[in-house]
Amino acid sequence: MKNMFLILCSLFLLVGKLSSQLVSIPIVTQNHAIVLQTDQKKRLNMVYFGKSLSNAKEYANVTNEFKFNDDNAGFYPNTYTPSGTWNLYEPAIQLTHADGNKSLELLYSDHSVTMIDANIELTKVVLKDPLYPIKVTLCYKVWKKENLFEQWSEIEHQEKGNIVLQKYASANLYFTNKDFYLTTFQGEYSKEMQPAETLLQQGIRSIDTKLGTRAMLTQTPNFIVSFGKPASENEGTVMIGQLAWSGNFKLDFEVDSYKNLRLIAGINPYASEYSLAPNQIFKTPSLIYSLSNQGTGEASRNLHNWARKYRILDGEGERLTLLNNWEATYFDFNEPKLTALFKDAKNLGVDMFLLDDGWFGNKYPRNGDNAGLGDWQENVKKLPNGLGYLIKEAKKEGIKFGIWIEPEMVNPKSELYEKHLDWVIRQPQRPEVYFRNQLVLDLSNPEVQNFVFGIVDDLFTKNPELAFIKWDCNAVIYNAYSAYLQKKGLPQSHLYVEYIKGLYKVLERIRAKYPKVPMMLCSGGGGRGDYELLKYFTEFWPSDDTEPIERIYMQWDYSYFFPSIATDNHVTDWGRQPLKFRVDVASMGKLGFDIVASRLSPSDKTFAQQAVANYHSFKDIVWHGNQYRLVNPHENNIAALMYVNNEKTKAIVFHYLVNNRQRITATERPIQLNGLDPNKKYSVKETNLYPYTKSTIDSTKIYSGDFLMNVGINPNITLQRTSVILEINEMK
């Protein structure tokens, strides 16, 4: 973990001394506070969520002002609600003790607060069952400046045998505000990340997945809660959150009989009972959330800043622009075709060529998606001189070389399947069920972990100049059954959890040996992308859908959760928009191409080259600057979005027409910018102009930041001018 360098102070409070009085534990960031407090019975409740108070002592008085107490008939503010005793609502934890008893009580024992550095603080609260030797540690890590919370739980025991955890949530929160609006994001292949906002009514709204791998395909662990009114960009209290777990998850949003909100988030208990040995710690994944009193814009910027600085691999670094051959060739390529594409990459001005699927398999060549997966040797017909030759040829053109792998998967038509059937997740007695003609390898098995690590290690050992990996994952888990767990006498219900832990172990090993090399997370489009995996990956692939109008919506919706440096956008031939529109949209993130550049018309080619050069000049602001969503395409005929550098001296504004109705005379009104300095003077210049077109924007005019943010500027979007990028520069 970055920057965890100094333990400044550590404060331990002993419960013995405090047993007669209530213990109040404020967890505070720059603007927000969550307050935990014991009650007379020593149960720990979440009693406050809101603005931080200037006098911390006053948090102790919060509960006096709430009159919800009803002997547990409907009021459940508990911080980790147990089951089998007094609670009859949805629990955070449910278990069976070694003796078969199913009751659990959790009472406050002690807590500690550790300053990791001036910005980061970790609060750990220990809860214990008075009857059984069970201990749950609730962990709250905050980044004060970013108003960012990361919360997880650690469960352990000293019973005489294993206990069985039926449910083991990461976080259990309670909000006493009124009216909660929840936005969740659902999807399917090539239609990822579609938002839906609802006013929560009494009862439980659950968001969950049981897909095992590629887990975000239909439901995502991302959500926005808006307090009191629907979420808006620049005002109101909002929470933007994500369960950082790459497998099955479940988020329960329960409005109780007092119309308060309980949020319980964690690994999906579905088919996942976990048998925990004495003294072994079960650490749950993290719930990560960013809070703001100024709407989703600020909450996203907080999350982006945090993610870049503390979470995403090389989040503050650089990225490689690229040309990918997937849609240019699919599986049909050979050395001459690829080396010709290297020239295209060079002519475009991108940094790298990315060789996609289809380069491997000999007994069962990978000439389609039905064979070869698992056999990671170069196909000798397509690539007689191997990857080393391609890397050398790319180098001659002055570009880097990256490669696609899908190391967790296998086609039944493969040597791997023939040799290692016991490595494949499948029910031995039942017919196999395929997703894209393939099956998932059993990453709970250490031998499979070695195999997957070996694929990457081998590639880098043989080709030290390999510059990039696209790590794909195209199938879900059907017929969940592990031959390995069976052999080891371990419960099958561990598979979903151990699979993901196995994946993290492999990535841990890869990063120990290859700490820097950029890797793209891909999952048959956007089935993966979470803040646990992004510890190991520099970026992710949001969707195979690169149709630029759809993409505007998708990138907009992903941007609530991820900074642009982490999202890979490729220009392809999807849809009917002109090249300029496609390139402009893909420039709002990490730019790539997946086209046959040599087939572009001369003016398209000139445009593409200029656009790549322009992108290199403004990418720093897109990657490292602050993002402001200006005009929401879900509610308007246009979309507008901008990025401003930290010094507020440079900004780049993207505008698009997203509706083609003839009646539209977009843009009648100016678009108000955001994030500039009201006292600075700026020029506004259109960039990425298509060859032989003139801008209607007067680049000689000077505006104050005040004017640009309050009156705004009209980008003159019309049915003929559907995509406009403006560069804003401070004039001294």
Binding region for ligand GLA (CB under 6 A): 326, 356-357, 369, 404, 472, 474, 522, 524-525, 541, 544
User: Three-state DSSP class for 389?
Assistant: helix
Least distance in Å: CB of 541 to ligand GLA?
6
E strands present in 447-595: 468-471, 519-521, 539-540, 568-571, 590-593
Residue 691 half-sphere exposure toward CB, CA atoms < 13 A: 11
Q: Which CB sits closer to ligand GLA, 235 or 369?
A: 369
Least distance in Å: CB of 472 to ligand GLA?
5
Least distance in Å: CB of 673 to ligand GLA?
35
Q: Which CB sits closer to ligand GLA, 122 or 475?
A: 475
Least distance in Å: CB of 523 to ligand GLA?
7
Least distance in Å: CB of 469 to ligand GLA?
12
Q: Which CB sits closer to ligand GLA, 326 or 561?
A: 326
**Cα separation, 280 vs 289, whole angstroms:** 28
Least distance in Å: CB of 17 to ligand GLA?
58
- Upstream peptide bond of 667 is cis (omega within 30 degrees of 0): yes
Least distance in Å: CB of 216 to ligand GLA?
13
Pairing of strands 590-593, 322-324: parallel
Q: Which CB sits closer to ligand GLA, 129 or 472?
A: 472
Per-residue burial over 476-485, b = 16 or more CB atoms within 10 Å of its CB, e = otherwise: bbbbbbbbbb
Residue 53 DSSP symbol: P
Angle between helices 602-624 and 335-348 (to 10 degrees): 70
Q: Which CB sits closer to ligand GLA, 284 or 474?
A: 474
Residue 23 carries which side chain, given as an amino acid letter? V
Least distance in Å: CB of 214 to ligand GLA?
10
Residue 320 DSSP symbol: -
Answer whether 417's CB lies under 8 Å from 411's CB. yes
Least distance in Å: CB of 522 to ligand GLA?
5
Q: Which CB sits closer to ligand GLA, 231 or 320?
A: 320
Least distance in Å: CB of 521 to ligand GLA?
11
Q: Which CB sits closer to ligand GLA, 326 or 478?
A: 326
Angle, CA of 506, 403 and 569, to the nearest 5°: 100
Least distance in Å: CB of 406 to ligand GLA?
7
- Helix or strand run (H / E) with residue 107: strand 107-115
User: Three-state DSSP class for 553?
Assistant: helix
Q: Which CB sits closer to ligand GLA, 254 or 357?
A: 357
Q: Which CB sits closer to ligand GLA, 284 or 324?
A: 324
**Cα separation, 714 vs 640, whole angstroms:** 11
**Cα separation, 587 vs 653, whole angstroms:** 11
- Please give the full DSSP string across 311-350, using - where no structure is assigned: ISTTTTS----EEE-HHHHTT---HHHHHHHHHHHHHHT-
Residue 567 DSSP symbol: B
Residue 475 half-sphere exposure toward CB, CA atoms < 13 A: 26
Token couple for 658? 């997203």
The distance from CA 365 to its chain's CA centroid, rounded to whole angstroms, is: 34
**Cα separation, 134 vs 35, whole angstroms:** 24
Place of tokens 């172990």: 505
Q: Which CB sits closer to ligand GLA, 322 or 522?
A: 522
Answer whether 647's CB lies under 8 Å from 670's CB. no
Q: Which CB sits closer to ligand GLA, 330 or 389?
A: 330
| Helix extents (H) in 565-624 | 579-586, 602-624
Q: Which CB sits closer to ligand GLA, 50 or 402?
A: 402
Least distance in Å: CB of 504 to ligand GLA?
22
**Cα separation, 723 vs 455, whole angstroms:** 43
Token couple for 361? 């398999």
Among the listed residues 155, 181, 15, the one whose alpha carbon sits nearest the alpha carbon of residue 92: 155
Among the listed residues 668, 666, 674, 669, the one whose alpha carbon sits nearest the alpha carbon of residue 708: 674
End-to-end alpha-carbon separation of the chain, Å?
Answer: 41
Q: Which CB sits closer to ligand GLA, 470 or 721?
A: 470
Q: Which CB sits closer to ligand GLA, 77 or 525?
A: 525
Residue nearest to ligand GLA (CB): 357
Least distance in Å: CB of 495 to ligand GLA?
24
Answer whether 266's CB lies under 8 Å from 285's CB. yes
Q: Which CB sits closer to ligand GLA, 275 or 367?
A: 367
Answer whether 221's CB lies under 8 Å from 249's CB. yes
Q: Which CB sits closer to ligand GLA, 242 or 474?
A: 474
Answer whether 364's CB lies under 8 Å from 413's CB. yes
- Please give the full DSSP string across 685-722, using - where no structure is assigned: EEESPPTT---SS-TT-EEEHHHHHHT-B-----SS--
Token couple for 36? 């935990």
Least distance in Å: CB of 35 to ligand GLA?
44
Q: Which CB sits closer to ligand GLA, 116 or 473?
A: 473
Least distance in Å: CB of 213 to ligand GLA?
13
Least distance in Å: CB of 357 to ligand GLA?
4
- Based on DSSP, count helices (H) and strands (E) in the chain, helices before strands: 13, 36
Least distance in Å: CB of 373 to ligand GLA?
9
Token couple for 218? 């239909």
Among the listed residues 245, 216, 239, 301, the one whose alpha carbon sits nearest the alpha carbon of residue 535: 245
